Amino acid sequence: MIYRSKSPLRLGLAGGGTDVAPYSDMYGGAILNATISMYAYATIEPLEGNTIVINSIDNNLEIELKSEETLPIDGRLDLHKGIYNRIIKDFRLKPLSFRLTTFVDAPPGSGLGTSSTLVVTILGAFAEWLKLPLGEYDLAQMAYRIERHDLNMAGGKQDQYAATFGGVNFMEFYKDDKVIVNPLRIRSKYLNELAHNLILYFTGTSRLSSKIIEAQRQNVLSQNEKSLEAMHQLKNQAIMMKEAILRGELDMIGQILDFGWQFKKQMAEGITNPMIDRIYEAALNAGATGGKISGAGGGGFMFFYCPRNTRSEVLKSLETFGGQIKRYEFTERGLTTWTI
């Protein structure tokens, strides 16, 4: 038998950063995100004997380990091993033997939630194989705890829930890791128009989000007024974006994106740089009404809202920077698992 799973990556449309502790614990966070047709994939093939093989295709790395209750966290495919360790511990299982193969449609550090989506996907494959009693909230929360607590990886809470639930969601974040996912029922013509007008652009560079997130965290702890006010405004942006999309007021999307981008840059050092600023300026000069960098910032994907017939001119303006336009569609489904 072969056990497979896939989960969609996401675009953080508004409120990005307010899902990161300690801000979300102290003030409550809000984010609007939508999953897209780019995925993380996982396949588990049970093996005879006492061996675990982990193959990360996109990282061109395969490791072979002895099957034990706890695998070493040593810098080589720690996400994969951390998931296994948590499953064995929580469900009191004996050591397992298997081959785990994974692939992600976007590189790490690209701002589309790749790491968290991969964790959800691998968890889903294990749940399919072992028939684990995990609901959507259970699985997303376990993915969060593996990353943030077990592996001490910096980041927020939105990615795990986006990958698990799928679709367009307005998410609320509170202390004690409480998360409420509110799926939005959006008319198909509005969603189609949004996908048509939002250009997804890969800058060609990735970044280490943990440094930016740590700076953001320190700004909250030190009560940096400028940074805190920026986060408050980004939380407001998520509400503004939700209302505009639900009402079909799509001409407002660009302005709301630009509103958020101006405040996002004030959250912490490193979110933008001269190249990102030049790309953003060129897109606006060509007809885009707003945009942002996806994820924590510093590199990776950017996206721009291009109303009416401005899309082609914006595409031409972006060609000069040597990046890549990525085609996509919005998706309704989150984590999907199956057995062959």
Told to judge if 159 belongs to the known catalytic residues of this protein, a careful annotator would answer yes
Question: Residue 158 in contact with residue 23, Cβ under 8 Å?
Answer: no
| Dihedral sign computed on CA atoms, order 264, 268, 269, 271 | negative
At residue 104's C-alpha, the angle toward residues 49 and 275, to 5°, is 145
143-166 burial: b if 16+ Cβ within 10 Å, else e = bbbbbbebbebbbbbbbbbbbbbb
Cα 71 from Cα 78, distance rounded (Å) = 9
Residue 238, CA distances (Å) to 128, 135, 171, 293 in order: 34, 26, 9, 15
Name the active-site residue from 159, 176, 251, 258.
159
Amino acid at 277: D
Amino acid letter at 68? Answer: E
**Token pair of 255 as six digits:** 């302005």
Q: What is the spatial distance between Cα 161 and Cα 324, in angstroms, rounded to a whole number?
A: 27
* Angstrom distances, CA of residue 66 to CA of 49, 63, 259, 318, 327: 10, 10, 52, 49, 41
Residues carrying an active site annotation: 159
